[in-house]
Chains A and B, each alone.
Chain A
Amino acid sequence: MVSEISRRSFLKVGAAASSLVLGLGADVLSAKEHSDAEFTPFVRISVDGTVTVIVRHFECGQGTATGLSTLVAEELNFPLAEIRMEFAPAAADVYGRNGFMATGGSGSMRDAYIHYRSAGAAAREMLISAAARSWQVSPENVNLNNGVLSSIGKSAPMGRFVVEATQFPVPAKPQLKSSEAFTQIGNPEIGRIDNKEKVTGAAKYAMDMHLDDQVTAVILRSPRFGGKLTSFDVANVVDNPDFLRAHALPNGDGVAVFAKSTWAAFQARDLIIAEWDFSKAENRSSDEMRADLLSAVNSDPEYHAKGSIAGTASALENATQIIEQEFYFPHLAHAPMEPLTCTLARTETGVILYDGCQTPSGAQAVLSRMLQLEPKQIKIETLFAGGSFGRRANTGADYHREVAMAFLLFGGETPVKLVWSREDDIKGGYYRPAVAHKVRMGLDGTGRIVGWDHRVSGRAIFKGSFLERRMVRDGIDLGSVEGITDTPYSIPGHYVGVTDERSPITVNWWRSVGHSHTAYVMESMMDMAAAAAGQDPVSYRLSYLMGDSPDQKRLASVLRLVAQKSDWDGQVPEGRSRGVAIHKSFHTYVAEVVEISGNANDGVKIERITCAVDCGVPVNPNVIEAQMEGGIGFGIGHIMRDEITFTNGEVDQFNFPDYEPLRINDIGAIDTFIVPSVEPPTGVGEPGTPPAGPALANAIAATGVRVSHLPMSTNGVEFV
């Protein structure tokens, strides 16, 4: 659903002496409560004509800075390429959603579509009004294009009317352009707004912060989750003049090691000897974890998430054919290219955090509690984030908590830059939890599904998180079942049961959250059903999407499109195999076809991928395509060969050599096709990921091997 301007909200203008600032006002009540946050400026126009869009989300590559700026650019008839963008300050009352300022759930464009366009449209109308009054013409006879106001025989740069424009009332309901009039929204020629600084090395990330008097802190953490520090010794740290000191963290989670430089901090930490109490730690190995999860999905579920267990059981008794399959998904790390880092410094009024900050509200809450400051005394300067995939947001705000402890341990005055190494990142938890599924599906004599018993077990992601109220219902964590219980397929006799697993290993949302495993299971099972029924996988799926609901129609339409674009009905080239998968996540519909050569034994090569996506109005087709390409790559790379495993509770992997990223030679071309749409725009950061793995699995299954335990590379599939 698109966010509309509520009746209690209104556009407001801020009249700085030299600029026109427009935004969507906070509602009346909160505006009164927060007198210094009278409006939420989304766009600022200066007397020199500079247009600055204030982006209320962080930018980790997903393209939100481009997207939100495009909305303003469109309504202001101003070229995106000339727009400047800056990140909004941390102010949840004005920039937050439900009082919380964060980025996630592929929701930025969905939330911003009307807000940012309204800000741009209001600015346009006010500038036009100012020019019309000055020229004594009707506003209808004034145009604003490319920063120039014009009327018959008159023209002036819009900056000249900025001050006068601020004297006009803000239009309560500015006239938004009709979609036929769009020149930038939907224009595939429009590129990203942050290209220049990112190709010259000028773009500034949190890792690039350097305050003159800063110290660098790294943390020596327990090698097992849940371990507590009992003692440590720095005696071995010699010949390291840049090492400053080390302190135990007050919560027992480790040792903060301080040095004058990053390298010195890493070197010092390597030589510190620490002792740990593992009595409450996770001490299991991966094999035991997997066995425990698989045992859970073969037992009575803790929660019933959908349907009737007895009803499905009796439907299965009458089935002609039963298909039974277990699935296992390992823990996965996000491993964004920029390891976690942030810098905390004292200011005259409180502190400032420099961070590629995904959850300003979360960081503020943690820092204000730990530093005993009011949230508004915590300023946050958001910098570019070098990827996230969910990692930079977590309820414990782990690295913000660490920087606060380190800051206090060093005296509470010296700026502290916290740096994670890649090893810290790979071993540091907040993983996509390991998950097991078991499905028992029954088909009748004609190959139609008569019952589907689906059991899931894994760590609940949302329980205890700041999203618990929204994402946990009757004890059922939606992170475990999303994509199953809400499947658009009309599945008769569909039962879903869930059992939560418990462990001190920290887990978190990972690009596409529950869909990262549920789509794999749903789409593998649909393929197995089609094969058992002797039917084509595309037409078999379509037969379960025949209803009139928008979900079924839109999912069917991306499936038809991908079938057409991949020449699904055509001859598969010699030595090639294809697999298809479709999935709805975050209100977006995606269908993908993966074409491979070879087979599991001799080696599989991913030759080409075709993708069709319906994300409502495609605001930035270029960004949408990029997110499909990236989402597919991210999903498929992990499914091919990545896993976090444990030996006696300790993570086995250490860095990229054994948590191997997708490489350039791993996949061929990805062709993305966008369904034209006038529906409100939805997100694209995550939805490309879920179908990629199962489409690959289905292509490999076409060569004779069904892979149901991941990653593929340790479960019988060779890649070349």
Chain B
Amino acid sequence: MNFSITVNGIKKTVEADPETPVLWVLRDNLRLTGTKYGCGVASCGACTVYINGEPTRSCQVPIEDAEGATITTIEGARGRVAQSVQQAWEELSVVQCGYCQSGQIMSAISLLSRNPRPDEADINDYMWGNACRCATYQRIRAAVQRASEILES
């Protein structure tokens, strides 16, 4: 079946089984590989994208439910918040293997868009679902707070 979605501002038509998760449509059909497969069961957050503005585990949304949706992936992350987050992530060398970091960054942008000055507990609560096997967590906490500072300046 054909589905229409708008990805990073560009309208796309994709042919896929209706049950195919958005994750695999992005990766296999559209070759947008910044969004990662980590678990397929919404347990790691590596596949986090925005669907109609909401941070979403793309492994859980069948393409048929995303018909007509607007999707933003890490490749399309733009704006002041996104820039601040990516800058902070670079300043603090948060990444190690880096595989989960697209999802971490998408979640962090979303957190700061809702709460520009999160404290440690806010960050822990919001970022809980994004697993990092390299355990870069304390740098993630620090980078979210650094991004918040950059945003305020």
Q: How far is the CA of A388 from the CA of B41 in the complex (A)?
A: 21
Q: Which residues of B contact A629 (CB under 8 A)?
A: 135-136, 138-139
Q: How far is the CA of A337 from the CA of B130 in the complex (A)?
A: 11
Q: Which residues of A contact B38 (CB under 8 A)?
A: 337-339, 422, 656
Q: How far is the CA of A235 from the CA of B86 in the complex (A)?
A: 49
Contacting pair B135 A264 (CB below 8 A): no
Task: Specify the chain B residue showing the minimal Cβ separation from A240.
Answer: B17
Contacting pair A203 B41 (CB below 8 A): no
Q: Which residues of B contact A626 (CB under 8 A)?
A: 93, 96, 136, 139
A interface: dominant SS = loop
Q: How far is the CA of A339 from the CA of B38 in the complex (A)?
A: 7
Q: Which residues of A contact B141 (CB under 8 A)?
A: 664
Contacting pair A261 B24 (CB below 8 A): yes
Instruction: Give B116-137 as 1s and 0s: 1 = Cβ < 8 Å from A's Cβ atoms.
Output: 0000000111011011111111
Lowest 3 A-B CB distances belong to which pairs?
A201-B34, A633-B135, A386-B99
A residues lining the B interface (CB < 8 Å): 59-63, 191-192, 194-205, 207-208, 210, 240-242, 261-264, 266-267, 335-339, 384-389, 421-422, 622-623, 626, 629-630, 632-634, 637, 655-657, 661-667, 669-670
Q: Which residues of B contact A339 (CB under 8 A)?
A: 37-38
Q: Which residues of A contact B36 (CB under 8 A)?
A: 205, 207, 337-338, 386
Contacting pair A195 B134 (CB below 8 A): no
Q: Which residues of A contact B150 (CB under 8 A)?
A: none
- Given the known inter-chain contacts A661-B131, A664-B127, A664-B140, please indicate yes or no for A385 contacting B41, CB distance below 8 A: no
B residues lining the A interface (CB < 8 Å): 17, 20-21, 24, 27-29, 31, 33-41, 43-44, 46, 73-75, 86, 89-102, 105, 123-125, 127-128, 130-141
Contacting pair A60 B97 (CB below 8 A): yes
Contacting pair A386 B33 (CB below 8 A): no
Contact of A337 among B17, B24, B132 (CB under 8 A): B132
Q: How far is the CA of A413 from the CA of B86 in the complex (A)?
A: 41
Contacting pair A389 B133 (CB below 8 A): yes
Q: How far is the CA of A208 from the CA of B33 in the complex (A)?
A: 6
22 contacts between A and B (CB under 8 A): A59-B97, A61-B97, A195-B93, A199-B101, A199-B105, A201-B75, A204-B33, A261-B20, A261-B28, A336-B99, A337-B99, A337-B131, A337-B132, A384-B97, A622-B93, A630-B134, A630-B135, A633-B137, A655-B40, A655-B41, A664-B128, A664-B140
B84 to nearest A CB, angstroms? 12
Q: How far is the CA of A630 from the CA of B96 in the complex (A)?
A: 9
Contacting pair A191 B97 (CB below 8 A): no
Contacting pair A200 B86 (CB below 8 A): yes
Contacting pair B31 A210 (CB below 8 A): yes
B61 to nearest A CB, angstroms? 13
Q: Which residues of B contact A665 (CB under 8 A)?
A: 124-125, 128
Q: Which of B44, B46, B127, B130 has the largest count of A CB atoms less than 10 A from its CB?
A: B44
Q: How far is the CA of A666 from the CA of B102 in the complex (A)?
A: 21
Task: Specify the chain B residue showing the minimal Cβ separation from A239.
Answer: B17
Q: How far is the CA of A195 from the CA of B39 in the complex (A)?
A: 24
Contacting pair B100 A337 (CB below 8 A): yes
Contacting pair B24 A195 (CB below 8 A): no
Q: Which residues of A contact B94 (CB under 8 A)?
A: 195, 199
Q: Which residues of B contact A194 (CB under 8 A)?
A: 95, 98
B125 to nearest A CB, angstroms? 7
Task: Specify the chain A residue showing the minimal Cβ separation from B46.
Answer: A337
Q: How far is the CA of A663 from the CA of B98 in the complex (A)?
A: 16
Contacting pair A195 B37 (CB below 8 A): no
Task: Specify the chain A residue showing the minimal Cβ separation from B32.
Answer: A201
Contacting pair A655 B86 (CB below 8 A): no
Q: Which residues of B contact A338 (CB under 8 A)?
A: 36, 38, 97, 99
Contacting pair B97 A634 (CB below 8 A): no
A457 to nearest B CB, angstroms? 29
Q: Which residues of B contact A200 (CB under 8 A)?
A: 34, 74-75, 86
Contacting pair B137 A667 (CB below 8 A): yes
B87 to nearest A CB, angstroms? 9
A628 to nearest B CB, angstroms? 10
19 more A-B residue pairs beyond the given contacts A261-B24, A386-B99, A664-B130, with a C-beta to C-beta distance below 8 A: A63-B96, A194-B98, A195-B95, A199-B101, A207-B33, A263-B21, A267-B17, A337-B38, A339-B38, A384-B97, A386-B97, A389-B133, A630-B96, A662-B137, A664-B127, A664-B132, A665-B128, A666-B137, A667-B138
Contacting pair B43 A655 (CB below 8 A): yes
Q: How far is the CA of A338 from the CA of B44 in the complex (A)?
A: 11
Q: Which residues of A contact B43 (CB under 8 A)?
A: 655-657
Q: How far is the CA of A62 from the CA of B98 in the complex (A)?
A: 11
Q: Which residues of B contact A208 (CB under 8 A)?
A: 27, 33
Q: Which residues of B contact A336 (CB under 8 A)?
A: 97, 99, 133
Q: Which residues of A contact B136 (CB under 8 A)?
A: 626, 629-630
Task: Specify the chain B residue showing the minimal Cβ separation from A664.
Answer: B137
Task: Specify the chain B residue showing the minimal Cβ separation from A620.
Answer: B93
Q: How far is the CA of A562 from the CA of B130 in the complex (A)?
A: 31
Task: Specify the chain A residue showing the minimal Cβ separation from B33.
Answer: A208
Q: Which of B24, B37, B91, B96 has the largest count of A CB atoms less than 10 A from its CB?
A: B96
Q: How far is the CA of A665 from the CA of B131 in the complex (A)?
A: 11
Contacting pair B39 A656 (CB below 8 A): yes
Q: Which residues of A contact B135 (CB under 8 A)?
A: 629-630, 632-634, 637, 662
Contacting pair B99 A199 (CB below 8 A): no
Contacting pair B34 A656 (CB below 8 A): no
Contacting pair A634 B102 (CB below 8 A): no
Contact of A263 among B17, B31, B134, B137 (CB under 8 A): B17
Q: How far is the CA of A120 from the CA of B140 in the complex (A)?
A: 34
Q: Which residues of B contact A633 (CB under 8 A)?
A: 134-135, 137
Q: How far is the CA of A260 from the CA of B135 in the complex (A)?
A: 34
Task: Specify the chain A residue showing the minimal Cβ separation from B25.
Answer: A263
Task: Specify the chain B residue showing the minimal Cβ separation from A264.
Answer: B17
Q: How far is the CA of A305 from the CA of B151 in the complex (A)?
A: 60
Q: How far is the CA of A242 from the CA of B24 in the complex (A)?
A: 13
Q: How far is the CA of A137 from the CA of B39 in the complex (A)?
A: 63
Q: How far is the CA of A633 from the CA of B137 in the complex (A)?
A: 9
Q: How far is the CA of A204 from the CA of B27 in the complex (A)?
A: 12
Q: Which residues of B contact A266 (CB under 8 A)?
A: 40
A610 to nearest B CB, angstroms? 13
Q: Which of A261, A338, A386, A632 has the largest count of B CB atoms less than 10 A from its CB?
A: A386
Q: How far is the CA of A634 from the CA of B132 in the complex (A)?
A: 10
Task: Specify the chain B residue showing the minimal Cβ separation from A688.
Answer: B135
Contacting pair A656 B44 (CB below 8 A): yes
Q: Which residues of B contact A207 (CB under 8 A)?
A: 33, 36-37
Contacting pair A337 B93 (CB below 8 A): no
Contacting pair B28 A262 (CB below 8 A): yes
Task: Specify the chain A residue showing the minimal Cβ separation from B131.
Answer: A661
Task: Specify the chain A residue showing the minimal Cβ separation from B44.
Answer: A656
Q: How far is the CA of A205 from the CA of B140 in the complex (A)?
A: 21
Contacting pair A195 B90 (CB below 8 A): yes
Q: How far is the CA of A338 from the CA of B140 in the complex (A)?
A: 19
Task: Specify the chain B residue showing the minimal Cβ separation from A632.
Answer: B135
A417 to nearest B CB, angstroms? 10
Contacting pair A337 B97 (CB below 8 A): yes
